[in-house]
Structures are given as structure tokens and as C-alpha cells.
Structure 1
């Protein structure tokens, strides 16, 4: 069974689910909650809205292992409920686990990241909600984030017909980019910058605190960017929108310095950050003449991992 889990700094995504990259860990079963509990290795875990601090190397501790296991559990439960999977008592279900890394980190970390999940040949026993599961990772395969998202929609974007396509993935902590030539990655033009949505949140919080003496949460900022009926005062919303506009302008300006001219290339924005900032990107883009697209699918990377895997294993 093939299961994709995109382990982002802000959110965990599978083919069908999205949840925050945060965990509550407890030694005893928590009281009845709306959210389901994962029981693994004598501990109890629930998702948390308090995301984990940025980790370049996600193998540093157990948290991303648990978050990934939670994603696997959600996918197994979904398949079971839809009749696509029927567990056999005391027999582990074999899972091909697909994960991803930013372009700049891929070559240096993919073996370590795959080994992080393939740490033991013994089946993984856990309980999710009211069901017990037994899973064996038969294979773990890593893919390049951003590229996988673009591949998922390559037919719609006609990427293989384009001499150049520039992919910008605005993620939780990193902003990943890579150049495609007729649908294939240019091995010289790619990188991951620490300029994702989380640094933007931090800049907004600092500015609002210094100028207005108000403390904001990430959710407040999301509402101010996306909703006209946001509960925040007008001066707070205006300040947030100014900072966001500056962020998009400055971010796109970085690529000019790297030799990327948006007037002569097709640009494709992917990732949750691109979706969050889509209206501002549209406002800023009037200064460019090149074509651009925003992929409004937060699950694009996870879906792309599976598409790449199935293509590699086609009979």
C-alpha cells in the first residue's frame, strides 16, 4: 500500500488530510476529545496547533516520526472506511512510505531521512482512535518538494512543452525554488531560502507589537490576509497587509538578483504559503509581463510523490 506524507514545517499533508506540525504528548489517555488519539510505544499523542520550531534536520528527535505515523494512521482509516483496505488479524500491512525534502537539502539528507523511518524491521504497532494497527514499512522513498507538486499538475500546466518554468514553493519555514527545462529540473538553479510563511508571521508579530503594542497569533494573521470580516481593528489589518505586500515584493525581487526574469518565463507558485498570499501575488504581479499560475492544492506535494512513485514502478 502506497502512502504519501509531506512533512512540512507548518503542516503535515497526506493525499487526503492536512494537520498542523505540532504534537501533544501524554503519559495517560486524555479525556474524551473531538480529535482522535494516537497511542504508540506507551505514549498518547494528539495534534496541536502549536507547531514545532523549525528543524532543518527533522530526524533530530521522534516528533516527525510520530507526526508521519499519525498521517499514515489517517490514510489507513480512510481506506478502511472506504473499503479499500481490510486488515488481517496479527498480520502487518505492508506500506511503501513516500516522503519529501526541500530541493537544497535533498542530496544531503535523503538517505538519513529514509533511514529515520526504516529504523527497524519489526512491525509498528499502534492504536488510532478505536482501532489497532500493525504496519511494516517495506520501503521509504524520498522526493523533492516543489518538483513533486509541479509534476502533479504538469499535464495541466503543459510543463514538458515549456522551455523554462520556474517553480516557487512558499512553505512553512522555507521558500523553495527550482527551474524546469521542458519539465526536467535544471541541476544548477535550485535552492531553499529561510523566507517562508513562519518568518513572515514573526515579522508581522514584531511590527504589530512594536507599533501597536498588540500580541497576535498565526491564526489572527491568516484571517487578516484572507477574510474581509476579520475581527481585528482596521489599523492592525492595514499594518499586516503592508508587511505582506512588502514580503511578496521583496521575495520576487530576490529572484531578479539570481538572474530570473519573470517577464520571459512561466512561473508556477505552489505550497500553502502561495495559496495564503494568492491575492497579494496577483496584486504585485502587475509589474511583470510573464505568465504565472498558482496551484490551489495544499496536498500537491503528497499527491506528486505518489505520481512519481507509480511512474517509476509502472509495469
Structure 2
């Protein structure tokens, strides 16, 4: 979170697997209840409803403003950042983003969705919050993660933002994005999870818990039999090979370009891919995109004299 003229600029990366801010990350899961549930550790109350944050798995929605879930998750994300500084009331500027090729078409609708209530009161983790949404800035996903370092990107490079739901790729020349060479496709890490789940069942006739799959994808191993790990590893390696095949289809050339990978897919490439470590940079900071949104919003507001 950044502060400018009493405004709190909060970057939020609305992922399909995780919600990220500059300093917080939690699962993009939410369950709704009409009465107070038994377990209330991560409960948010708003408009007479009770929401458990981080529970369940949010299904893929190309247009995130089509239900109330991402709005409630946004309130949780804002309160998490405010809580870090001991605040319960603030004038907030939301800096968020959308997949690269969807930004222009959905930007206005998503901004209107996030700012539909100028004043919002809610309770999260037994703390009452009163916030004013003063503005919403929407930026292209993926590119924001490299904006703070774009001046160091010389020659040809490609950004690959591989999230849970989508993979966004952007071609850069001396750090400058080429608008005619950006792509968004539904090939996020959850596609790998589904392939592992199905492949494991086919080979062993056993179900594999997603927690184990996530652990292996994030760390490269888990406390499971070697034979099980081999099955997961083989499928993950195929997924990563497919990532590089798709990158080459979009113009990536290992010999002449550098590759900047951000998002959860970076873990998979690190653990299960074959690549030139001198030419492939993997940003392991899962909050990098949210930080990038904040950076862009803050920089532009400063140039504008702090006016919203």
C-alpha cells in the first residue's frame, strides 16, 4: 500500500487461484451464508450476509464482474492491507488489472464494478471497516509486474504472466510493449492441476488431493511415495513443455530473446522445465503484479500533481 495526499493506493491482483496485494495473499475462494457459520476466523460480514474468505475454489469467469464474489474478495484484500498499518478507515484508490487482451474491452465495466459503492462499511476478522472508494485504476496484467524494471530490459524480451486461470504473453523491444504482439489464453496452472488429477486417477485408480498437487507444483516435491511423485512430475514436465511451445508460437526465440516469467507458473518452470538460466528470469514474488499496479498508479498520480 502506498500513500499520497491521504489517499491509500492499494494494488490488487484478482487471480483465479489467489488474491494478492502488495503484502498479502489468500485463496480466491468464498462461500456465502445467510446466518453466522460455525468457524469465523476469516469471516467477512457485509449487507447482512456472512462470507468465509479463502474457502472453496472460484470457478473460471472470463468477466469477473458477473457475480458478487470478486467484489467481496476485494473488500477482504483492502482490509488486509489496512490492517497491516493498524487502519480501519481510509480513502482508497484501487489499482487493479485484467488479462492483457481483455483490458480495453472490460476496463470500464470492471472499474464500475469495483467502485459501485463509494462508501463501504463491513466487518472482516471481527474488525469494523469504513472505507471510501475514491477511484479505480485498471492496468494490463503481466506487464505491470515488469514496469519497475523495464528500463533494464534491453533488446528483445517477452513477458509471460502465468496465473491460475490464464497465460498472458507480451513482446517487448527495449522494454517497450508491442501492442500487436500480446496474447491471452486459458492455459493457467489450474490446467496442469486438472491434468495431474486425471492422469493420476488413470494410472493408480486413486484420487489425489489438490493440496498435494499444489505442494508438488510449488516446491517440486512432497511427502508422498516416489512412484506417486514420478507420475505428477511427468505430467508437470509435459505442461511446462507445452508452455514453451505456446510461447514460441507467439514469437519467443530462446536464442535472441530474454524471457521474464511472473505468476504461479514460474514455480512450475523452475521445478519442471528445461531452460537457459542466463536468459530466463523467473520472478518468484507472487505479489509482483499487485506491487506493479501500485507502482503505476502512484507514479501517474504524482505526475498529475496528486489529483484523482
Superposition TM-score, scaled by structure 2 size: 0.90
Q: Is the 8 A contact 2:79 2:88 kept in 1?
A: no
Aligned to 1:13: 20
Unaligned 5+ runs, structure 1: 88-92
Q: Does 1:299 align with 2:296?
A: no
Q: Is the 8 A contact 1:267 1:290 kept in 2?
A: no
Residue of 275, 279, 282 corresponding to 1:285: 275
Which residues of 2 match residues 38-49 of structure 1 at below 5 A? Answer: 38-49=44-55
Give the aligned CA root-mean-square deviation in angstroms: 1.8
Unaligned 5+ runs, structure 2: 1-7
Aligned to 1:254: 246
CA distance in 2, matches of 1:99, 1:198: 22
Superposition TM-score, scaled by structure 1 size: 0.89
Which residues of 2 match residues 168-183 of structure 1 at below 5 A? Answer: 168-183=160-175
Q: 1:237 to 1:27 in 2, by over 3 A?
A: same
Q: Is the 8 A contact 1:39 1:127 kept in 2?
A: yes
Shift in Å at residue 277 of structure 1? 3.7
Aligned to 2:92: 95
CA distance in 1, matches of 2:96, 2:82: 16
Which residues of 2 match residues 1-315 of structure 1 at below 5 A? Answer: 1-31=8-38, 33=40, 35-80=41-86, 85=87, 87=89, 93-121=90-118, 123-154=119-150, 158-159=152-153, 162-227=154-219, 230-281=222-273, 284-286=274-276, 291-314=279-302, 315=305
User: CA-to-partner distance for each residue in 1:49-100, whole Å, 9 max, x for gaps?
Assistant: 42211011001110010011110111111121xxxx474xxxxx31101111
CA distance in 1, matches of 2:55, 2:189: 15
Shift in Å at residue 299 of structure 1? 0.3
Q: 1:227 to 1:311 in 2, by over 3 A?
A: closer
Q: 1:191 to 1:226 in 2, by over 3 A?
A: closer
Mean Cα deviation higher: 146-155 or 168-177: 146-155
Aligned to 2:4: none
Shift in Å at residue 290 of structure 1? 6.7
Q: Is the 8 A contact 1:10 1:51 kept in 2?
A: yes
CA distance in 2, matches of 1:254, 1:306: 30
Count of residue correspondences = 296
CA distance in 2, matches of 1:232, 1:273: 22
User: CA-to-partner distance for each residue in 1:156-214, whole Å, 9 max, x for gaps?
Assistant: xx12xx12220011100111110112222101111111111011100111111111111
Aligned to 1:90: none
Q: 1:227 to 1:141 in 2, by over 3 A?
A: closer
Runs (4+) of structure 1 moved beyond 6 Å?
none
